[in-house]
């Protein structure tokens, strides 16, 4: 579809900076933890996924996928769930393997191409028989995962899945990894690696001798981490092979339902191919919106409802007919 040339988002005057937009919500949004109904489902390989439901008794459901080292309680997930519920939608915020507060049982955990887990969640939701309409909403890694899933499924996607909205998507993983390796993004990189290290150590305790963190302090970038852990554990040759096979941009031509990608131009995590103008322009279903500001999963607004622009934009797209 034609690229959306003019975005409605206007950043607050004191937050017209990508780094501020990225950091502010985590520190100052002030959303209370959401009260979900948790359901644990088993995976075919003997692991588990924790699904957090927020129901209002609707026949419409949105399945939410979080970002790297996120969970159903991250501010952007809670904000979107609250918006969906107010708008008459049920919400299912699923937690990736190792992200629900309990380390998963298998050596594998999650990555940008874990579409088998997303498919399991979606099929589980469909099997309830409660929903005539399902949409997918993804943030950051979860947005990329959503694109990979939709493109991989193509025409075989269940007809109940009608739309998707994704925000701050590193859909060119190599470009995003290169951007995050820069000195200006050292803070974010350090935080991600610190969080991932905790899980490596938990897996060491769970399965001694299978995985080790020896020399972990020498890991400085996602290339280092993905070469050592993500790629070999999940069947890729190396980081570059993983990035190539799991970058959402390459799946855009096969997406068969109306899908909105929103990537801010000042997102400190994104660069180059993460703004897939050509692919979106040649697609019949994918819309690309690139606000000048918004940071990474930011899009801050100040209003009496406490909602952010990303949440309002998602509902606008989900309600829009004749796409």
pLDDT tens-digit map of 100-114: 999 999 999 999 999
**Cα–Cα distance for residue pair 306/167, rounded to 1 Å:** 19
Q: Which domains does the chain have, with CATH numbers?
A: 13-171+249-319 (3.40.50.1820)
Say what the pLDDT of residue 120 is: 98
Say what the pLDDT of residue 250 is: 98
Range name among 28-37, 103-112, 179-188, 269-278 with the lowest pLDDT average: 28-37
pLDDT tens-digit map of 47-83: 999 999 999 999 999 999 999 999 999 999 999 999 9
- Supply 195's token pair: 């969080």
323 pLDDT higher than 90 = no
């Amino acid at each position: 579809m034609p690229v959306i040339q003019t975005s409605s988002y206007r950043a607050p005057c004191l937050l017209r900076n990508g780094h501020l937009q990225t950091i502010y919500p985590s520190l100052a949004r002030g959303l209370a933890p959401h009260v979900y109904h948790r359901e644990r489902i088993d995976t075919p390989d003997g692991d588990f996924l924790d699904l957090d439901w927020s129901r209002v008794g609707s026949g419409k459901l949105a399945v939410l996928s979080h970002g790297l080292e996120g969970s159903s309680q991250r501010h952007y997930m809670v904000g979107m769930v609250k918006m969906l519920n107010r708008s008459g939608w049920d919400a299912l915020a699923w937690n990736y393997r190792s992200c629900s507060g309990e380390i998963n049982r298998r050596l594998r955990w999650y990555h940008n191409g874990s579409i088998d887990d997303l498919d399991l969640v979606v099929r589980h939701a469909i099997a309830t028989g409660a929903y005539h309409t399902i949409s997918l909403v993804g943030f950051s890694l979860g947005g990329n995962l959503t694109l990979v899933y939709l493109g991989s499924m193509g025409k075989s996607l269940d007809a109940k899945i009608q739309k998707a909205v994704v925000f701050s998507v590193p859909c060119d993983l190599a470009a995003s990894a290169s951007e995050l390796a820069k000195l200006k993004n050292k803070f974010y990189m350090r935080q991600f690696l610190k969080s991932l290290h905790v899980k490596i150590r938990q897996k060491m305790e769970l399965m001694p001798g299978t995985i080790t963190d020896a020399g972990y302090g020498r890991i400085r970038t996602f290339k280092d981490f993905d070469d050592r852990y993500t790629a070999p554990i999940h069947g890729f040759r190396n980081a570059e092979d993983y990035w190539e096979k799991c970058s959402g941009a390459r799946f855009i031509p096969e997406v068969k339902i109306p899908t909105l990608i929103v990537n801010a131009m000042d997102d400190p995590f994104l660069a180059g191919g993460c703004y897939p103008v050509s692919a979106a322009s040649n697609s019949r279903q994918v819309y690309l919106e690139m606000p000048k500001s918004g940071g990474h999963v930011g899009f801050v607004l100040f209003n009496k409802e406490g909602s952010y622009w990303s949440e309002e934009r998602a509902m606008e797209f989900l309600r829009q007919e004749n796409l």
